Amino acid sequence: MTDELDAAIRTLQGDDATLAPQAFAAMVEMAGRDPLECAAALARTVLAEQIAGGFRTARLLTLLGLTRVSVPDCVPLCVDIVRIATTGATSLPSDAILGAAAVIACTEPRELLPDLASLMSAGDAADATERARGIAVLLEITSQWLRQAPDTPYADMSRWLWRDCATIDMMTVVDFVGMHIARTGVDDPVVALMVDLIERIPATADQKNYAASRLQESGVDEAVLHRLQIAVRAARVAPDVATDGTTLADPEPPAPEPRVDECLAAFSEANDFGIEAARAEIDAMFEELNPPPALSWWVAVTVDTLPAARRKADIDWALLRLVTLSRQQKKTIAPPSILQRWLETPQLLTPNASMAALHLLAQQQPGALVRRWLYRAVAATPDEHSRIVMGDMWQNLAAAEPLGILLVASRWIAFGYTQTDFLELLLETLLEVLRRQPATIATLSDALASNEGLPADVVQPAQLLLDALRNSP
């Protein structure tokens, strides 16, 4: 791809206004296909322009931001670009400013976020104030993209920008979001993004509670508050989250099948009529008594590479098909790395799609789900009809990590949450595991006794639960 990439960069740097849009569009596609190679080439070009007397091809920064690759050498220039944007003395397109900020957020987000304590300090106030102005400008740009073009790579870039910042300091970000919506109103699309991030990011319950309170002060409606309360509750009962940033390993994919390949090629590349015809054929294959072994895996791979304008709706469609098939066949049917990417991408999955992705991941890598997304599993499980909706997922999790599930139930009781279908599901699922493997009771009891990091108000209910489960008929 190197020659194609270099040619597109040269075209973008040139003066031919008719060819530049085509080159830019080609590079957006390349940035998604091979982000590492694109980021390296773009970073070299950006730094070369700067050394040669001044950075002049602004949309190189847009492309660099789209790669989501850390490029430390470009951070100083990107910081300068964001700083200039706060003065209003720039003709840079908003997507280039957003790209510069995305590079900073992906590489060193602390360079974007002001230290609120510094705003009160005479010595450091100037720098902190400048960063605060930058955050305000970036929120305005984000709002524009989310409102006017939500299904574009630029809107996705803005979502990742705030995800990276909120992961480092959720409370500071929500403070600025609160100030932003005080000016623009609670119907600003930034509100929905912030709610999604509060649900998605593995922050502490105190941090999420602060964020929920801040948004409540801003006047968000009852439905939003309910979602935030569920996110806080999930963080309380499932607080232990591993955030090592690694990508889950995939098993060997099934061999391609010509019939499936032809259908998926048409689904990816055809016009609207051809896409729907291919979708109908794929649906028919899922309905077969014995669907092609390669179908589900390569459907997931295909929809993951679709353009931004199609990706969300088609992922939703694919996950519904995949989870229905998985409940019938009880076997690996989708790459865990893709499920991970979908779960971690801001504002990508609908609530039903999130439940489906968690179900599929629990079937294949339940231990990873317990270690990294247990709070998401808790939040996704409704208080009513829990077994019908998510029972299979919790059975897989309890079989793989019974201690983790026991502690969720224990914390639920310790925090005084009401007895719901969900709590009953946890206890029934644990009981099923212990009946199959009676020795697990002693293992769990020893684990509770040896875990000095657990507070007493969590250990005591867990021990009482174990006693009750041990004596259950």
pLDDT digits over 414-432, tens only?
A: 999 988 899 999 999 999 9
* Second-level CATH architecture of 241-380: Alpha Horseshoe (1.25)
Question: Residue 124 has what pLDDT?
Answer: 58
Instruction: Please tell me the distance from the alpha carbon of residue 34 to that of residue 10, in angstroms, as a whole number.
Output: 18
Name the percent of the chain in helix, strand, coil, to the closest 5. 75, 0, 25
Question: Residue 456 has what pLDDT?
Answer: 85
Question: Residue 20 has what pLDDT?
Answer: 87
Instruction: Please tell me the distance from the alpha carbon of residue 261 to that of residue 266, in angstroms, as a whole number.
Output: 9
Question: Residue 330 has what pLDDT?
Answer: 65
Q: Which of 161, 38, 51 is nearest to 100 (CA)?
A: 161
Question: Residue 119 has what pLDDT?
Answer: 56
Question: Residue 265 has what pLDDT?
Answer: 93
Instruction: Please tell me the distance from the alpha carbon of residue 189 to that of residue 375, in angstroms, as a whole number.
Output: 25
Over the chain (473 residues), the average pLDDT of each successive run of 10 is 84 84 89 91 92 84 95 94 82 92 95 71 64 91 96 95 96 95 94 96 95 95 95 94 83 92 90 89 93 93 91 95 85 87 95 95 94 95 91 95 94 91 93 90 89 84 87 75
Q: Which of 427, 442, 440 is nearest to 472 (CA)?
A: 427
pLDDT digits (tens, 9 = 90+) for 12-67: 888 778 888 898 998 998 888 899 999 999 999 999 988 887 788 889 999 999 99
Q: How many CB atoms lie within 10 A of CB 455?
A: 9
Would you kindly state where each structural domain of the chain is located, as residue ranges? Answer: 2-168, 241-380, 383-473
Instruction: Please tell me the distance from the alpha carbon of residue 328 to that of residue 326, in angstroms, as a whole number.
Output: 5
